[in-house]
Amino acid sequence: MIIREAKHDDWNLIWPIFREIVLEGQTYAYDPEITKGDAEKIWLADPRATFVAEDGGRILGTYYLKSNQAGPGGHVCNCGYMVSPKARGKGVASKLCEHSQSVALNLGYDAMQFNFVVASNTGAVRLWKKLGFEIVGTLPKAFKHPGQAYGDAFVMYKWLKS
């Protein structure tokens, strides 16, 4: 598995992963009906950088990195990660997150913030904690699960610069 910058043409392979995860409706606050083009804008075109984990031409996962705020908040970046449902349980998310922390430092960021980690996504919460992120906020009932039940979301944060 290699992690490399995503090219425009990769979107055809990233989109099915993005679509499946968003349709599950359990982890991301994106519109499940989002179009392929709008998703590309969010994930590939607008962020400062987008990477893919590739293995023999297959895309196992992906992440984007962007500034979380501008100006006096511009030293904190934000990332989002997606792993293909077919590639779960292989440590892909962990490798992507570690990679993103190196990239963030190289780009001059001091810290990384996740704005919206769904509290019921315990696997992700556990992994981010293991990788040094802390829960710094809890957004009560900020996520609506597919059955319409409200759940909390966490804000997670890690100071990267030594």
By CB under 8 A, name the binding residues for a copy of itself: 22, 25, 28-32, 34, 69-76, 110-111, 113, 115-116, 136-146, 153, 155, 157, 159
If the CB atoms of residues 127 and 155 are measured against a copy of itself, the closer one turns out to be: 155
CB of 44 to a copy of itself, least distance (A): 17
If the CB atoms of residues 21 and 87 are measured against a copy of itself, the closer one turns out to be: 21
Three-class SS string for 40-105?
A: HHHHHHCCCEEEEEEECCEEEEEEEEEECCCHHHCCEEEEEEEECHHHCCCCHHHHHHHHHHHHHH
If the CB atoms of residues 94 and 115 are measured against a copy of itself, the closer one turns out to be: 115
If the CB atoms of residues 89 and 147 are measured against a copy of itself, the closer one turns out to be: 147
CB of 69 to a copy of itself, least distance (A): 4
CB of 49 to a copy of itself, least distance (A): 19
Count CB atoms within 10 A of the CB of residue 56. Answer: 7
CB of 161 to a copy of itself, least distance (A): 10
Cβ atoms of 53 and 60 within 8 Å: the answer is: yes
Cβ atoms of 99 and 79 within 8 Å: the answer is: no
Q: For residue 52, give the amino acid letter.
A: V
If the CB atoms of residues 9 and 122 are measured against a copy of itself, the closer one turns out to be: 122
Output phi, psi for 134, to 5 deg: -115, 145
Distance CA 146, CA 17 (A): 19
CB of 83 to a copy of itself, least distance (A): 19
